[in-house]
Amino acid sequence: MRNTLYLLVAILIIGLQSCETTPETITPPAYALVIHGGAGVIKAANMTAEMDSSYRVSLAEALDAGKNILENGGTSLDAVSVVISILEDNPLFNAGRGAVFNEQGFIEHDASIMLGSDRNAGAVGAVRNIKNPILAARLVMEESKHVFLVREGAEQFAALKGLQIVDPSWFMVNKQREKYEQTKNTQPEREFPLGEKHGTVGAVALDNFGNLAAGTSTGGMHFKQSGRLGDTPVIGAGTYADNESCAVSATGHGEFFIRYAVAHDLVARMKYGGQSLEEAAEQVVMQELVNSDAGGGIIAIDKVGNICMKFNTPGMFRASVKAGEEPYIGLYADPKTAKKE
């Protein structure tokens, strides 16, 4: 009886944590997948029931596609690429179709992808006509001798490799055009309207072979300066994967995520500092970034399949699933843990 009580209390405590901590001796699950659709001022009070449900349905669809790949023995790299392509095609998110406009009225996409087994990586920056920037990032990784290509060079490479090229108008949706016009008419020059930044997409996965992968894709910050690159395509800032520690995808105010090398900082804290994923994420996201007034969050999976979804904003679109477990979908924070507006 007493043992049962202890067990129940232990289960409750584990359930309340935002990140899990499984000792490394435990066999990793057959697979695990976490995805995000950006962090920011995402509050139940600002959402209609339809919006709330559209986000949940969209996250569930993307998660399910990744889960199917992993369940059927596919790789974490394939799961990450497919999930992110689906979210890029979804106009609800600030990546691919539906991305934000820069101050000149163009859309410039950033994306990156990384494999934990050999730390191979690929990225594209400020590309304007590649339908799925994450697939271009993957091609840079797999079929070029470089890690990072930008603008026309990246676009020409993607076209040469047979990726779908679209007219830039394909990405433009009315909601973002209106937001751009409104900012242009009301904002002083070159100021970020802070606090509304969300919609970047990302995914991290652990597959049956024990390989981690991470990827992130975005239109960047609304009304950004033309040519600005954020953290999303910067390996070590917005994306990182290392089979010895974890896979990370970040979202938030990119300038801070670059300066603090957020994704690699998590890896380094685990690898060299002996911290758990939960400890590392808590210190980086809830202390360092909060102390600098930098809003955002991360999703991560460690090498034994512990999942972490940590953010300091009122919400982060997120979903996760593990072999043998029910999927989780969340939009809002517990009000007690949201520190930044």
Going by the DSSP 8-state scheme, the letter that residue 164 receives in this structure is -
Query: Taking every pair of C-alpha atoms in the chain, what is the biggest distance, in angstroms?
Result: 68
Q: Which of 75, 183, 200, 232 is catalytic?
A: 200
Question: Distances in Å between the alpha carbon of 9 and those of 3, 75, 277, 307?
Answer: 10, 36, 22, 21
Nearer to ligand ASP, 29 or 230 (CB): 230
Q: Count other Cβ atoms within 10 Å, centred on residue 12.
A: 9
Instruction: Judge whether 200 counts as a catalytic residue.
Output: yes
For the bound state, the minimum distance from the C-beta of residue 311 to ligand ASP, rounded and expressed in Å, comes to 11
Residues 266, 236: Cα–Cα separation, whole Å: 9
CB of residue 191 to ligand ASP, shortest distance in Å? 15
**Look-up of token digits 């830039």:** 168
CA distances from 77 to 121, 257, 259 (A): 11, 23, 27
Nearer to ligand ASP, 47 or 194 (CB): 194
Q: Judged by CB, which is closer to ligand ASP: 81, or 200?
A: 200
- Site residues (vs ligand ASP, CB under 6 A): 38, 197-198, 200, 218, 220-221, 230-232, 238, 251-252, 254, 257
Sole residue written with tokens 């800032």: 237
Nearer to ligand ASP, 36 or 322 (CB): 36
Query: How many C-beta atoms surround the C-beta of residue 57 within 10 A?
Result: 12
Task: Give the number of other CB atoms < 10 A from CB of residue 184.
Answer: 13
Rounded least distance, CB 107 to ligand ASP, Å: 12
Catalytic residues, by residue number, are 200
